[in-house]
Structure 1
Amino acid sequence: MLRSEVNAIIERSDAFMRQHGFVLPPFAYWSPEEMKARVASDTPSIRDARLGWDITDYGKGRFTELGLVLFTLRNGSAAALADGRGMLYAEKLMITAKDQINPLHRHAVKTEDIINRGGGTLVLQMYNSLADGSVDEISDVVVVTDARIRTLSAGALLQLAPGESVTLLSGNWHAFWAEGADVLMGEVSTVNDDLTDNYFREPVGRFSTIQEDSSPTHLLVSDYDTWLS
């Protein structure tokens, strides 16, 4: 992706979130220079927990067809999760554009609630995992949607209107997209690890390769290793 494209997506995304009543924390708006200074002084957890903007085209270069906007608001640590004490949770805001596919994947550790915070209809395609972690094309999927237990056939589509949510357990394969209009999504989960806990059915990259055709207005989490080291 071009850095200029990323800058424009961030600006549009912030406006879309505000349209639906969500205002991001101050660090969402820090310049790269301020981010570097603040992380070095009083906010190292931004880097360590990988909080902030995350724009991905899954390494395919077709963002409008295959992509997602994410902002990680808070995130605990693997050490806390293993110990069972401390910040054991994470929270994200995400935007999936109308007809923009987010490919089939699962998590080995994370359990998450996916919430339609506003916009169009959020559609999820779901499968169970086999013992080796691969997609189970046969068995029914039992999920909880806003305290309601539902049974779906393998590969069936679950539709969530604004305000509705689904709980995805580790091992639940899922792809998702928006129908009718762009969707603002919420994610409330156990500790999030986007470096090691995303398993895609088809070979894709979790993060985008950025071509620096302009200066960044705000850093992505995938920039931190380079910019904040």
Structure 2
Amino acid sequence: MKRSEINREIRAAEAFFSSLGFQLPKFAFWTPEEWAGHGPEIREIYDCNLGWDVTDFGRGDFRRAGLLLFTIRNGVAGSTRYPKAYAEKIMISRSEQKTLMHCHEKKCEDIINRGGGKLVFELYNRKSPGERELADTPVELVRDGERIIVQPGAKLVLSPGESITLTPNLFHAFYAEKGADVMIGEVSSVNDDRADNVFYQPQRRFPLIEEDEPPYRKMVGDY
């Protein structure tokens, strides 16, 4: 991705979050110069990978396959310095922009439609641990406290306010239904984007960046 594209998406995200009444923490708005003015007191931001994250999964077509997210809080598994057992993210899925099929080895997460349009999920059980194969078995999961069963690959639609719980080894892809972007909340166990993601088709989790202009905001990948 070009840095100019990342800058544009972050600016648009700031406006979108604000339009829906969601307030980001103050470090979300620090300039690179303001980052440089801080020292070891913000070590947790770096070590827990808090902050902006924009990815095109290495596809080079962000608006078709990509995701913008901001990690608000997180821990480090097994750490005594960062003992939080939970994480929280806020994300944006643009109209028809797909977050590619993946599952997690360890993380359990609630994905919440926080506002905007409708959020569409495609879900599959993992055929067996350690493999990238999709099972053809019905998927059992919880939607807002109610246990439901959906057929593999069937489209499950969440309206604003609705959520589902995704357990480890449950493959999922999602996108905003055509016509409206979606603000997505994620509440989960500790998040480790470098080691815990299993993509059905191997992808880059973090983009290669072409530095065609200075950063507007620092991203997790810049740390």
**TM-score normalized by the length of structure 1:** 0.93
Q: Distance in 1 between matches of 2:215 and 2:134?
A: 42
Per the TM alignment, residue 63 of structure 1 is displaced from its structure 2 partner at its CA by 0.5
Q: Matches of residues 1-229 of structure 1 in structure 2 within 5 Å?
A: 1-38=1-38, 40-80=39-79, 86-132=83-129, 133-179=131-177, 180-224=179-223
Alignment-derived partner of residue 227 in structure 1: none
What is the aligned length? 220
Unaligned runs of 5+ in 2: none
**Residue identity matched to 2:107:** K
Deviates more, 1:27-36 or 1:87-96: 27-36
Measure the CA separation in 2 of the matches of 1:47 and 1:152: 39
Could you say what the CA RMSD is over the residues aligned between the two structures, in angstroms? 1.3
Q: CA–CA distance in 1 between the matches of 2:222 and 2:51? A: 11
Contact 1:121 1:178 in 2 (8 A): yes
- Whether the 8 Å contact between 1:127 and 1:135 is mirrored in structure 2 is no
Contact 2:144–2:164 (CA<8 Å) still a contact in 1? Answer: yes
**1:32 Cα shift?**
1.5
TM-score, normalisation: structure 2 = 0.95
Contact kept, 8 Å, 1:142 with 1:152, in 2: the verdict is yes
**3-state DSSP class of the match of 1:4?**
helix
Write out per-residue CA displacement over residues 88-109 of structure 1, whole angstroms, 9 at most, x where no aligned residue. Answer: 0000000000000111000001
- Note the alpha carbon deviations across 1:176-217, whole angstroms, 9 max, x for none: 000131000000000000011111011211011111111101
Q: Which has the higher helix share?
A: 1
Q: Which runs of 5+ in 1 are unaligned?
A: 225-229
Q: Which amino acid aligns with 2:13?
A: S
